[in-house]
Amino acid sequence: MKKLLSLALALSLLMSLAALPALAEDQAVNIAVTSTLGTINPLLMDNTEVVKYAESLVFLPLVELNNELEFVPQLAESITTEDNLTFTIKLREDAKWSDGEPVTSADVVYTLLAWATPATGAYGVDISSIVGLEDGYLPEGADQIAGVTVVDDKTLTIATQWETTLFTFENNIGRYILILPEHALKDIPFDQLLTGGWFDRPEVVSGPYFIRDFDLNHYVHYVANENYFEGAPKIKYINLNVLQSSQLLAGLQAGEIDLIHPTMGAILMEDYDAVRALPGYTYVTGSPITNQSIFINVNNVPDRRIRQALLYGIDRETILDGFLFGNGEIVDAFLSSVSPYFSEELGVTAYDPDKAAALIAEAKADGADTAITWHAWSGDETFLNAVNFIAAQFAEIGLTIDVRPVDLDQLMALAGDYQIQVMSVQYSYNPLDPYTDVAWLLSADGWTQYDDEAVNAALTLSQALTDPEAIKAQYLIVDRAVVENAPMISAYVLSTLGTKSDKLKNVNLDVYGTFVNVQDWEIQ
């Protein structure tokens, strides 16, 4: 049966790769991912890592994180601030578009306008902190953003309405807003940028690659931008191939996969030892920053006792040891031990099924609904199995869980429309900037729709402080509120596995920074 299964997986993989063109072995790199891509349009960014990296191969951000957790230049030479209210962006003198036109301040202004106009309805990155964008959008009829000032062709300033740490600004505006070519797009109405098809195969790019073909459910194929301002990529073709987790080991064994990124490809935990032992490949174990998050919409699960029961009734240690073979850590709330703001003072809530059962019974006696729907990301087969294990455990103590596996695109749509009660998905929080994600998630507009004055005050104060210990104290307030009210549960924090073929050179495979120098990758 094992041989038949291996053969079936190998055949399935070959069928998945059948759409790839016949390329010389030294021309293409195949990267396996386990999530479908909801979009390749930068204005529809959904903050998932696979979409962010897929799009930033074509359109660069201002800055990017490297594997040392430092923000390094992409289109911007530097981003600075003296007061956490006004940020000066200095663009690189050598930054050029693929048609030879320089990247200028006008491109940054145009991009922000495209995000801010109600005509596009862009929502994946919150830019409401910028002066003039009180709700994230321009007022009706406005054609400029009050807080954005052009100094010269390569310099501009952005003013924020409230104090914002440099890390937060660099991560949110600097890393996730991908800059667009104003001169190539200025004649296209904003309301056509989402549907007109220009981004399907953009003719002008800033990044190292062009898109040449795509099927968002199966692949995105790229070809090198020979005019890339940092130098023409040494590898002509890169392919992102969407596969199932169960296909990855077979694909590696067959030599059909060259790279699996720690946060973009979910290798099955039971395959970790086999992947580590593969000849011709080098593996990396990422730092524990990818959180297996369980988000609970507090409006759809309004009884706090039911939410608390989920926290007490999930046997996280057993799941970590039994399903992940210990490849991670257990924490409460959002922050992992990698973050400078992680506090051991928070502790970890112990597994207590008796307390969970009592909470469920008490809530039921008061008329609470003890049947919930749990939408689970199907791309992570390991945790999908764990969710079914969790459901079976809760059935014994009075809570009925309807597990519904969905792909990432469906899950994001349901969460964005607030149609979930409980959802589980891997979520990577930037260790240097948890604010960007946490402030949104714990808000009326976030997935949890949890809105608390004390939490909001602590998060706001964290942006005005500079001392790491003082900032840590504010995040401890947030974490304690999350434990008490359970709008989110951390099942565990993954130490995810990634791997690359030894024929790939100059690749710094890690959770962050892998693609910073993609133009220097080589195949030997």
**Closest residue by Cα to residue 77 from 40, 103, 45, 101:** 103
Structure tokens at 33: 């991912």
For 159-181, give one letter per residue: b (16+ CB within 10 A) or e. bbeebbbbbbbbbbbbbbbbbbb
- The tens place of each residue's pLDDT in the chain, 524 residues long, gives 333 333 343 444 444 444 444 344 458 999 999 988 888 999 988 767 889 999 999 999 999 999 888 999 999 999 999 999 999 999 999 999 999 999 999 999 999 999 999 888 767 788 989 999 988 889 877 889 999 999 999 999 999 999 998 989 999 999 999 999 999 999 999 889 988 789 999 999 999 999 999 999 999 999 999 999 999 999 999 999 999 999 999 999 999 999 999 889 989 888 999 999 999 999 998 778 889 999 999 999 999 999 999 999 999 999 999 988 888 999 999 999 988 899 999 999 999 999 999 999 999 999 999 999 999 999 888 899 999 999 999 999 999 999 999 998 899 999 999 999 999 998 888 888 899 889 999 999 999 999 999 999 999 999 988 888 999 999 999 999 999 999 999 999 988 899 999 999 999 999 899 999 999 999 98
The pLDDT score that the predictor gives to residue 23 is 41
C-alpha distance from residue 31 to each of 68, 218, 221, 262, 380 (Å) = 23, 12, 10, 11, 17
> For residues 485 and 465, what is the distance between their CA atoms, to the nearest angstrom?
26
In angstroms and rounded to an integer, the radius of gyration of the C-alpha atoms of the chain is 23
| Sign of the dihedral defined by the CA atoms of residues 133, 138, 142, 144, in that order | positive
User: Would you list the DSSP string of 369-419?
Assistant: --EEEEEEETT-HHHHHHHHHHHHHHHTTT-EEEEEEE-HHHHHHHHHTT-
Annotation: CATH topology of 63-192: Dipeptide-binding Protein; domain 1 (3.90.76)
Going by their DSSP bridges, the two strands 371-377 and 422-428 should be labelled as parallel
Residue 24 exposed, middle or buried by CB count within 10 Å (0-12, 13-18, 19+): exposed
| C-alpha atoms less than 13 angstroms from C-alpha of 193 in its C-beta half-sphere | 27
Residue with tokens 């002066």: 131
DSSP 282-299: EEEE--S-EEEEEEE-TT
- Tell me if residue 83 falls in helix, strand or coil: coil
Count of helix runs (H) and strand runs (E) in the chain: 16, 21
Contact 179, 108 (CB under 8 A): yes
Beta-carbon-side half-sphere exposure of residue 523 (alpha carbons within 13 Å): 16
What are the b/e assignments for 233-247, b being 16+ CB within 10 Å? Answer: bebbbbbbbbbbbbb
CATH fit for domain 290-494, picks 3.40.980.10, 3.40.50.2000, 3.40.630.30, 3.10.105.10:
3.10.105.10
Would you say the C-alpha torsion 241, 244, 247, 248 has a positive or negative sign?
A: positive
Task: Answer left, alpha or beta for residue 156, where phi above 0 means left and psi between -120 and 50 means alpha.
Answer: beta
> To the nearest 10°, the Cα dihedral for 246, 252, 258, 260?
40
Whether the Cβ atoms of residue 370 and residue 391 lie closer than 8 Å to each other: no
Beta strand 281-285 with 497-501: parallel, antiparallel or unpaired?
antiparallel
Residue with token string 């073909």: 213
SS3 labels along 108-159: HHHHHHHHHCCCCCCCCCCCCCECCCCCCCCCCCCCCCCCEEEEECCEEEEE
Eight-state DSSP code of residue 271: G
H/E segment holding residue 273:
helix 272-276
How far apart, in whole angstroms, are the C-alpha atoms of residue 189 and residue 191?
A: 5
Specify the CATH class of 2-47+207-285+497-523 in words: alpha beta
Contact 6, 250 (CB under 8 A): yes
Q: Which residues make beta-bridge pairs with 31? A: 240, 259
Domain boundaries, the chain: 2-47+207-285+497-523, 63-192, 290-494
Helices (H), 180-271: 182-185, 245-253
Distance of CA 214 to the CA centre of its chain: 21
